[in-house]
Structure 1
């Protein structure tokens, strides 16, 4: 998950300004450019790339601040390998703070980020993935069994319904149907946000007027429900009743019990309440982050995958055989190729904490350097026939390290990457074991909040096998 940049570059004298090498790029009214960046980013970035080349800049609010867009693999690798103390990812994602909260792993840097990542890691290890898998399989199986031959399935909606249940039950650990019925519509409203809602980060007063007021009222109601769940689960933990619970929230509560996982004074700051584990506020922020970073992103990846398979009978037949034979390597390759061809999140951001030379250019402190996932994934030099859906490229060694970057890279690579791929592969297998999918018509991307989804939600016609 990514967002805009961080602080405005520092004021500098004429001599200093001349020593910087900020690349050119499209310019215009800062507010209009910001709205275009939020709502029509794909055309903006592609047009700028065609005009200015692999590296260019865009200026958006607040500030305005300068984003320097990079797409050359060597430059992207350099940024991901840079010192995280000088290349802040948390500040680069600050636009999400009103929703995710200040403790979100996506929004913190330095020692606080290191501490949070260490506490979250036990919930995303190999053994943890294996424990989640049966729960994901059960939810996917239950959903698919409700479909029927000849049905016109709107894949984005269907996949969102499945991944929402995974978040609520596998991540939040809520299985009581009464609680789920309350949470589902409220959580869906958080995810189903227009990019304009994010303007409240730039203009906080917007939160007091419609439609922002309604969104943040709903967010507070979800917070109340999450805090109640956290308090109840923490009480279970104190009584020793959490053993056997494999949901992410329960694992995060147990993380503070492990001296190896719970960093003390030398490894990073303690929680706000003085404990080594995650505080209630930190737990809330991480849960909402996992919701926003892992719900519609995975659903969109699955929707694009089914859309592409439904267009190609040969690939569909191979994917169907893979589902029957348990060849999850090929199914995962289909998912990865869909994420390459249709980047769900199209860029990542790093805010410079000091003047830096990046890709041979001297840039001032406060600049946001921005590897473009969209441009990187469409380079013919990295992906032959880049505009074709070819899952086999992930099986034959064609994809070189550092060119496929849907989860970012470096020490800030998405902590939930393995979970997302596991979930997507499991769901894809459950679908293809029961149905063939046939795409109605080609579609293009639409930017919805911060994710690129199929413009028509990618409907397919189901044929029972």
Structure 2
């Protein structure tokens, strides 16, 4: 719990005294193990000093986490914590802005991710998944992560951006993986955009420029579409947001200023980055966990065939608990704040320790056990279950991502028979800010299943639920 300030002297919790470059290397190579070791040695709150990120104070007490998520957004800046992404997302992205600007932008972006809007996209998501699964090899072990990425990218291109022109859709399919799957070398240019002027980073610059050209073309087409008011894609709804579209688009406050082309581009890029690899990785982890738990896999297959969305939702929730996709979420303090018995100085980044909280036996008994039953009918606290962040920055696409996760998983389990394995669990490898299976989630399809085509998916129930927007 936050305490009333008793001193004017700021202080930091204990933490390792290793140089910031060494701590950065440990975070990149051994993220979960490194923070778990710090938790064990220094207690529930500890300080890290990480090169390129600064001073980080990890919080694992649910009371402290609640204080951060419910804190004044003028003091707790999440956009500033994500500022390293500006080179890719743009400086008007909902992920990198704060204060009233963020509040107003987020309000404009809520409508496409409301429950009814998401429900309208379920048939398209199922169709995209089914088409992809039809091409999976039988009897051959293969990494399923690339297939998941293909599915989630196609979902975003068709339901969020609304791309329909065949040539442009093909161009977007080609360029977006080059933009979104950047390695450590390219990441340097994203965090420091001036580097893109130099030859080693020209490929990064050119890929982003080509993606921008295609996104601006989609924006222009949508603005000119005489049937704009009847379209269901997120881009069409965002264009209508503001004075002229308030009546046509529910949940958008009248009087809000419409977004410019640049602002629309930045939000589309944000949705691509935040909603592509994250959902694909969650699906990959679900298959990695299910194939190592035969009884749970059998039950999940039965649920998929019977339309038991409650159990499938439990599989989704438990996957995101035991294998959180996003490493952690942060807030930069704009003034001193008292947390966990310390008056933390301004400029420090406080981090609700998602990985540590989700792995706590005190909160989740036998936390290292994959057990969807613990999620069936469970009431989850936003300070102990936080795969989508929390507070006013909770991922605005959480409902869309959770429904997409469940629908795609159901299509997989209905259409193919997955072989189980007794191989060791795949390690978590940090890729940018997400944890991916280090071998790409290897699976083997034993056979295809006969599927009775029809309305297999109901409208989404109210699901729960990486970077905070």
Deviation at 1:404, TM superposition (A): 1.1
Distance change >3 Å, CA 205–CA 255, structure 1 → 2: closer
Moved more, 367-376 or 211-220: 211-220
CA distance in 2, matches of 1:94, 1:38: 19
CA contact (8 A) 1:311 1:438 kept: no
Q: Which residue of 2 aligns with 1:7?
A: none
Consecutive aligned runs of 4 or more in structure 1 exceeding 6 Å deviation: none
Q: Which residue of 1 aligns with 2:404?
A: 423
Q: Which residue of 2 aligns with 1:228?
A: 217
Distance change >3 Å, CA 116–CA 132, structure 1 → 2: same
Root-mean-square deviation over aligned CA pairs: 2.1
Q: Which residue of 2 aligns with 1:83?
A: 72
CA distance in 1, matches of 2:93, 2:28: 21
CA distance in 2, matches of 1:243, 1:202: 38
CA distance in 1, matches of 2:331, 2:30: 21
CA contact (8 A) 2:303 2:309 kept: yes
CA distance in 1, matches of 2:426, 2:332: 34
CA distance in 2, matches of 1:353, 1:400: 27
CA distance in 1, matches of 2:276, 2:219: 20
CA distance in 2, matches of 1:386, 1:225: 45
Deviation at 1:18, TM superposition (A): 8.5
Q: Which residue of 2 aligns with 1:354?
A: 335
CA distance in 2, matches of 1:345, 1:416: 14
Q: Which residue of 1 aligns with 2:236?
A: 250
Q: Which residue of 2 aligns with 1:314?
A: 295
From 95, 104, 109, the equivalent of 2:84 is 95
Distance change >3 Å, CA 382–CA 54, structure 1 → 2: same
Q: Which residue of 1 aligns with 2:117?
A: 128
Question: What SS does the aligned partner of 1:404 have?
Answer: coil
Q: Deviations over 1:180-214 (max 9, x none)?
A: 22111210011111244333365444333354332
CA distance in 1, matches of 2:343, 2:354: 23
Deviation at 1:263, TM superposition (A): 4.9
CA contact (8 A) 1:311 1:439 kept: yes
CA contact (8 A) 2:45 2:340 kept: no
Q: Deviations over 1:310-346 (max 9, x none)?
A: 1111111100110011001111111111111111002
CA contact (8 A) 2:10 2:336 kept: no
CA distance in 2, matches of 1:292, 1:316: 30
CA distance in 2, matches of 1:56, 1:426: 39
Q: Deviations over 1:110-152 (max 9, x none)?
A: 1111111111011111110111111111101111122353243
CA distance in 2, matches of 1:208, 1:285: 21
Q: Which residue of 1 aligns with 2:263?
A: 282
The question of 1:392 aligning with 2:392 is answered no
CA distance in 1, matches of 2:25, 2:186: 11
The question of 1:67 aligning with 2:40 is answered no
CA distance in 1, matches of 2:29, 2:185: 8
Unaligned ranges ≥5, structure 2: 1-5, 450-469
Q: Which residue of 2 aligns with 1:9?
A: none
Distance change >3 Å, CA 114–CA 296, structure 1 → 2: same
The question of 1:373 aligning with 2:359 is answered no
Q: Which residue of 2 aligns with 1:459?
A: 442
CA distance in 1, matches of 2:126, 2:50: 43
Unaligned ranges ≥5, structure 1: 1-15, 271-275
TM-score by length of 1: 0.89
Q: Which residue of 2 aligns with 1:299?
A: 280
Deviation at 1:282, TM superposition (A): 1.0
CA contact (8 A) 1:393 1:399 kept: no
Distance change >3 Å, CA 206–CA 24, structure 1 → 2: farther
CA contact (8 A) 2:294 2:420 kept: no
Q: Which residue of 1 aligns with 2:419?
A: 438
Question: What SS does the aligned partner of 2:230 have?
Answer: coil
Question: What SS does the aligned partner of 1:311 have?
Answer: coil
TM-score by length of 2: 0.88
